[in-house]
Amino acid sequence: MDIKQLKYFLQICEDESFSKAAKNLYITQQGLSKAIKSLEECINAPLFYRTVSGLKLTEYGKYLKEHSIHLINEFDLILNDINKMTSLNRQKLSVGFSFGVLNALSTDLIDNFKQNNPNIQLTTAEYRDFDCEKAILTGELDVALTVGPVDESKFNFKIVQTHNLCALINDKHYLSQKSEISFKDLKNEKIIIVDKNFKLYHNFIEKCRQAAFEPDIAFTTAEILITHKLSRLNKGIGISVDFVVSDINYPNVYSIPFIDKSFVWNVTLIYKKDSILSYAGKIFTDYIIQFNEK
């Protein structure tokens, strides 16, 4: 039995549902079920039973809930006090951003954090998506804001923003009159997109394969601005994201959304799986979540 299992258990008690609890804990339902099964094996007693009206606690579950709440509160208090003690010294924090993320969130984000947290020495750098993840795994970065999806077995993560993707179509192209684009519409079309170092490239390829074709990638680039410029010249159909379209407005290029609303650009906060965030890291992650909720 460990603290994480008890926290999982209490979340299920609060939500009265494994699926809701898994969502709130940002883990898979399978992973949550496995953790609870392990807890039940540890105490050699069932904690829940199902009825027509939903999930209910057994007598063992009720007892565990009553005593776990105090235990968890005490544990969190201890961690909080230790974090406050360590914060007396100026802490260093290294944060990475995938290209485009700062533009999606806010260019004021870093300056605001530094002004409000002078005790934290923050260093930042921008990376391509996969390099950003690699820097977390090697310990070069403490926390990163990258583009999803991410490998749940390697990272703790939280999606903090979701942006819509679109096709950039020159007004001379016959598809420019469509109000929405399907992936099948793009079969045999020349595609302009960011290169293989970015999640968008791979996410797009996967969607095309689900539509039963291999896309004709005519040009890849490290700069999404190039996709807009080439679309303006009618060199192909570019793939871009809503906040970039808002900044770059060519009158002869239409930004057409995809019918498939699961094709999105998710800004995702990550840090290494099974690692413990420093006090500075926790302050930063809380700041990002609160900043995004404004």
Question: What pTM value is reported for the model?
Answer: 0.69
* Bridge partner list, 94: 123
| CA atoms of 253 and 225, how far apart (whole Å) | 13
Q: Which of 267, 244, 270 is nearest to 255 (CA)?
A: 244
Question: For residue 38, what is the domain's CATH number?
Answer: 1.10.10.10
Q: From 44, 70, 86, give the residue that closes a domain.
A: 86
Q: From 51, 86, 121, give the residue that closes a domain.
A: 86
> Measured at the alpha carbon of residue 276, what is the angle toward residues 272 and 280, in degrees to the nearest 5?
100
State pLDDT tens for residues 28-86: 988 888 988 988 888 898 988 888 888 888 999 899 888 888 888 898 888 888 777 76
Q: Quick check: 163 and 105 in contact, CB under 8 A?
A: no
Q: Are residues 66 and 112 in the same domain?
A: no
Q: From 86, 108, 126, give the residue that closes a domain.
A: 86
| CA atoms of 4 and 26, how far apart (whole Å) | 13
The residue range of the domain holding 30 is: 3-86
Q: How many domains does the chain have?
A: 2
Reduced to 3 states, what is the DSSP secondary structure of residue 153?
coil
State pLDDT tens for residues 140-192: 999 999 999 999 999 999 999 999 999 999 999 999 999 999 999 999 999 99
Q: What is the mean pLDDT of residues 3-18?
A: 87
Q: Are residues 114 and 28 in the same domain?
A: no
Q: Are residues 62 and 129 in the same domain?
A: no
**Phi (first) and psi of residue 49, to 5 degrees:** -145, 155
What is the model's pLDDT at position 87? 60
